[in-house]
Amino acid sequence: MRTKLTFRKNKQSNKSIIYKASLPIAFLLLSLFLHSRESLEVYWQVGYAFFVAFFANLFGALSGPLLLRLLKLSSETIKGMALAKFSEALVIIASIIVLIMIAGIDIGSIYLQVGNLPLGLAIGLMAFSLFAIIAFLQVKSFKLGSKTLISLLLRILTFVFFKCLHGRAVVSRDFLEQV
């Protein structure tokens, strides 16, 4: 017997701009409070990490549609979706880097440091390839012709690349481990 899940739509949800703006503010205030108390100062970066994540997400969500409107594109088209993902990823990455630098935190905590370049590129290429294969298989399940699949391959790889950048920018294991 199958169970059907239904969800009730609330007027206030996490898509509300007030909700999205209140989270970064709350975590910034928590971070400042923890930083100001000598006995709690060791925990301030936890609040700051959440502030950075929520702020970057909010800023990315607000600026993503802006570029589409400027170029008169719709997010319903493939070109519009790719451009929206690209601009959102760039804004999120830039926001995280700037906020980390403002706080005086070592930029190496988000893997932006000189290191073993061949190893980093090999791991990145493996992850990119894995996600590209998964995305290609998903599109192939739509039973489009091979000619259409090949024409979509560049767009698929673009989505995979910026999705990887986006995901890497939002969650940084080392940044949270440092605290």
Q: Can you tell me the mean pLDDT for 43-48?
A: 90
In a domain, 168, yes or no: yes
Q: Which residue has the higher pLDDT, 42 or 141?
A: 42
In a domain, 50, yes or no: yes
CA dihedral 105, 111, 117, 120 (to 10 degrees): 170
Q: How many structural domains compose the chain?
A: 1
Contacts of 164 (CB under 8 A, 6+ apart): 124, 127, 128, 131
For the cut 70, the answer to whether the pLDDT of residue 88 exceeds it is yes
pLDDT of residue 168: 56
Q: Is the pLDDT of residue 179 over 70?
A: no
- Parent domain of 44: 17-178
> Per the domain annotation, does 8 fall within a domain?
no
Higher pLDDT, 137 or 6: 137
pLDDT in tens, 129-139: 887 788 777 77
Does residue 95 fall inside a structural domain? yes
Type of residue numbered 117: L
Has residue 21 been placed in a domain? yes
pLDDT at 55 exceeding the cut of 80 = yes
The Cα 8–Cα 24 span in angstroms is: 26
